Structure 1
């Protein structure tokens, strides 16, 4: 593992069905994730994906690459822009890429993750610290 190594990318379609399933699993039934009228009343362009769902999907880039999610020691992101999920059966396409940003002497490495929707970054400072 070397600084600059790129991990295999991941593209995921986030659909309204996934939002319903995630809401049930997380108990996050905020209407901005399922009710278009409510979402527009609070100034959103449409229903948006749960931030934690987007974060979890981004984490898959790292866990798929590692093959062992137990090697992820730390993981954090900042939510910078919502993923707008249309009610069209196709959903929103979110692209995830990552690269090794630092290899440390203690046998760990920092992986920097990029998540883009509609050509714009939706997560900031998305980073995982992993056991090499």
Structure 2
């Protein structure tokens, strides 16, 4: 493969500023109209210090992190995440990843690597998200045309 994927590879960190706009836009885009994702006063009445990011926005940001790293031929096969500390406005989430396992297949036309990547997203109060992503990356193998 022209872009080698190796077990143990560390993905560069991605810093994502957590803004009110990101939280609200993510909730609206995913049709999650729970008040805790857009109404600070109602979120406080329910015991939260402020609005917080929903899991669907987090899932999308994790997917973006992986596909941005592996490029335009990357296809997400599985995303399994678990939330921890909430993402509140004014914080920054830093996504990091480590390739845990890689399998490769090559035929006359395409070389394909399937990688399992452990992902962690941490913010100022702890780990917001942990999980694994399975991604397939394909490139022409240089064989038959």
Q: TM-score, normalised by structure 1?
A: 0.84
Greater alpha carbon shift after TM alignment, 20-29 vs 107-116? 20-29
Q: What displacement does 1:53 show?
A: 0.8
- 1:115 to 2:114 alignment: no
Aligned partners of 1:76, 1:127: CA distance in 2, in Å? 5
Give the equivalent residue in structure 1 for 2:36. Answer: 32
Match of 1:21 among 19, 22, 25: 25
- Residue 7 of structure 2 corresponds to 3
Gaps of 5+ in 2: 106-112, 138-145
> TM-score of the superposition, structure 2-length normalised?
0.77
Structure with larger RCO (C-alpha < 8 A, sep 6+): 1
Say how many residue pairs are matched. 126
Q: Secondary structure of 1:47's partner? A: coil
More helix by share: 1
SS for the counterpart of 1:68 is coil
Larger radius of gyration: 2
Q: CA deviation at 1:18?
A: 1.9
Q: 1:48 aligns with which of 48, 52, 66?
A: 52
Structure 1 residue runs of 5 or longer lacking an equivalent are 86-90
Q: Aligned with 1:104: secondary structure?
A: strand
| Residue 77 (structure 1) aligned with residue 76 (structure 2) | no
C-alpha RMSD over aligned residues? 1.8
Deviations 1:87-110 (A, max 9, x none): xxxx32110010101123664221
Query: Which is richer in strand?
Result: 2
Q: Alpha-carbon deviation of 1:69?
A: 6.1
Contact 1:51 1:82 in 2 (8 A): no
